[in-house]
């Protein structure tokens, strides 16, 4: 077509409709695939598979993974949950939560651009904040960015556990993101407490400072 492509000549409404239809078809295909893949996925992860009450549903995976209680609901809630053994004082969210800093927490400044940009709400007890700052924080969120980000709604970490909500769930996403959630849990609530950390003075410099004064080592800029 002279002066432009065929796509440029189509009405914008038609293009938007085609895009929405493609997304819906992808979700439907992924859901159907998950229903077939979840029994084998459960076996490979050492979890129990509970069949769905709905025709074509994937059901629920539950049990213990790497020492953490987990539950994955693929149908209604589309939720991956990793629970803590205790109740660590933490509030990390991938979205802005309009509350002040709780009295027994501090704002987490990890000095890593990727981590601080991913978690728009970052509050934790001082000891947890120091552990996060020393844990190569960018690697903790890497799995939730890039290609996987388009299937995720939110990631929330509170004393109740780690809750990862999906737009739609696939076996491949669970296989990749479950270990990433457990890695976050192990930083926030270590399986073996660090005795040296317990003895460390809370006002030692470096970990809890506001990083706006020095971002030279925080990683590449946007």
Counting the structural domains of the chain, the total is 1
- Cα(first)–Cα(last) distance of the chain, in Å? 38
221 in any annotated domain = no
pLDDT at 43: 96
Q: 8-17, 58-67, 82-91, 131-140: which has the minimum mean pLDDT?
A: 8-17
Compute the distance between CA of residue 29 and CA of residue 215 in angstroms, rounded to an integer.
43
Is the pLDDT at 222 greater than 80? The verdict is no
E strand intervals along the chain: 48-50, 60-65, 68-73, 79-82, 90-93, 106-107, 121-124, 152-158, 161-166
**Confidence bin at 218 (pLDDT 50/70/90):** very low
Query: Which residue, among 177, 145, 214, 151, has the nearest Cα to 81 in the 3D structure?
Result: 177
Is the pLDDT at 152 greater than 70? The verdict is yes
**Span 58-67, mean pLDDT?**
96
177 in any annotated domain = yes
128 in any annotated domain = yes
146 in any annotated domain = yes
Is the pLDDT at 6 greater than 60? The verdict is no
CB 110 within 8 A of CB 133: yes
Q: Pairing between strand 161-166 and 152-158?
A: antiparallel
Compute the distance between CA of residue 20 and CA of residue 22 in angstroms, rounded to an integer.
5
Q: What is the mean pLDDT of the chain?
A: 81
**Span 187-198, mean pLDDT?**
73
pLDDT at 76: 85
Is the pLDDT at 29 greater than 50? The verdict is no
203 in any annotated domain = yes
Q: Which two tokens stand for residue 47?
A: 């979890």
Q: Which two tokens stand for residue 69?
A: 């209680």
Compute the distance between CA of residue 88 and CA of residue 149 in angstroms, rounded to an integer.
26
Bridge partner residues of 70 (DSSP)? 63, 82
| CA 13 to chain centroid | 34
Is the pLDDT at 213 greater than 50? The verdict is no
Is the pLDDT at 27 greater than 70? The verdict is no
2 in any annotated domain = no
CA atoms within 13 A on the CB side of 156: 13
pLDDT at 195: 46
20 in any annotated domain = yes
Compute the distance between CA of residue 194 and CA of residue 191 in angstroms, rounded to an integer.
9
Q: Which helix (H) or strand (E) holds 181?
A: helix 171-188
The rounded percent of the chain whose pLDDT value lies above 70 is 71
pLDDT at 209: 56
Compute the distance between CA of residue 168 and CA of residue 75 in angstroms, rounded to an integer.
9
Name the strands in the sheet holding 152-158, side by side, starting at the edge strand that comes first in the sequence.
48-50, 60-65, 68-73, 79-82, 161-166, 152-158, 90-93, 121-124, 106-107
5 in any annotated domain = no
Compute the distance between CA of residue 144 and CA of residue 182 in angstroms, rounded to an integer.
13
CB atoms within 10 A of CB 201: 6
Is the pLDDT at 31 greater than 80? The verdict is no
pLDDT at 11: 65
**Whole-prediction pTM value?**
0.76
Supply the range of the domain harboring residue 169.
11-213
More confident residue, 43 or 18: 43
């Amino acid at each position: 077509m002279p002066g432009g492509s065929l796509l440029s000549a189509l009405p914008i409404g038609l293009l938007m409709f085609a895009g929405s239809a493609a997304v819906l078809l992808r979700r439907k295909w992924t859901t159907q695939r998950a229903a077939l893949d979840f029994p084998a996925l459960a076996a490979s992860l050492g979890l129990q598979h509970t069949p769905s009450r709905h025709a074509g549903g994937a059901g629920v995976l539950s049990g213990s993974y790497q020492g953490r209680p987990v539950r994955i609901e693929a149908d209604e809630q589309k939720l991956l949950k990793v629970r803590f053994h205790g109740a660590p004082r933490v509030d990390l969210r991938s979205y802005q939560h309009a509350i002040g800093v709780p009295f027994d927490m501090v704002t987490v400044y990890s000095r890593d651009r990727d981590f601080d940009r991913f978690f728009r709400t970052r509050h934790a007890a001082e000891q947890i904040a120091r552990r996060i700052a020393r844990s190569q924080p960018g690697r903790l969120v890497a799995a939730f960015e890039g290609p996987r980000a388009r299937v995720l709604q939110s990631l929330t970490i509170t004393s109740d556990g780690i809750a990862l909500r999906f737009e739609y769930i696939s076996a491949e996403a669970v296989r990749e993101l479950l270990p990433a959630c457990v890695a976050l849990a192990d930083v926030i609530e270590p399986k073996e407490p660090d005795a040296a950390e317990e003895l460390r003075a809370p006002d030692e410099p470096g970990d809890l400072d506001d990083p706006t004064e020095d971002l030279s080592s925080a990683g590449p800029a946007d």
